[in-house]
Amino acid sequence: MRNEKRAHVLRFLEKGLRFDGRKLHELREIKVDYGISKNAEGSVRVCFGNTEILAGVKMSVEKPYPDTPDDGNLIVGAELSPLSSPEFESGPPKSEAIELARVVDRGIRETKAIDTKKLCIDKGEKVWTSTIDLVTINADGNLIDSGALAAIAALRNTTLPHYDGQKVDYKKRTDTPLPIKKIPIAVTIYKIGPYFLVDPTNEEEDLVDARLTVTSSSGRISALQKGGDHPLTIEDVDRMVSLALEKAEELIKYL
Partner 1 sequence: MGLSVKDKEIVVPGEELAQGMDYLPSYGTFRDGETIVAGRLGMVSAESRIIKLIPLAGKYLPKTNDTIIGRVFDVTMSGWMIDINSAYSAMLGVKDAVPEFVARGTDLTKYFSFGDYLVTRIINVTSKNFVDLTLKGPGLKKLGEGRIIHVSPHKVPRIIGKQGSMISMIKDSTNCRIVIGQNGIGWVQGEPEDELVAIQAIRKVEDESHTSGLTERIKEFLDRNKRQ
Among residues 11, 94, 117, 173, the one that binds partner 1 under rule CB under 8 A: 11
Q: Which residue, 12 or 170, has its beta carbon nearer to partner 1?
A: 12
Among residues 15, 38, 167, 171, the one that binds partner 1 under rule CB under 8 A: 15
Least CB distance to partner 1 at residue 3 (A)? 9
Closest alpha carbon to 150 in 225, 76, 245: 76
CA separation (Å) from 129 to 63, 74, 182?
A: 9, 6, 18
Closest alpha carbon to 185 in 212, 214, 211, 226: 214
How many angstroms separate the CA atoms of 177 and 30, rounded?
Answer: 25
**Which residues, 17 to 36, sit near partner 1 by CB under 8 A?**
17, 19, 21
**Which residues, 178 to 197, sit near partner 1 by CB under 8 A?**
none
Q: Give the contacts of 67 (CB within 8 A, at least 6 positions apart).
A: none
Least CB distance to partner 1 at residue 192 (A)? 14
Pattern 82-121, partner 1, x by CB under 8 A: ----------------------------------------
Q: Note the Cα 186 to chain centre separation in Å.
A: 6
Binding region for partner 1 (CB under 8 A): 1-2, 4-5, 7-8, 11-12, 15, 17, 19, 21
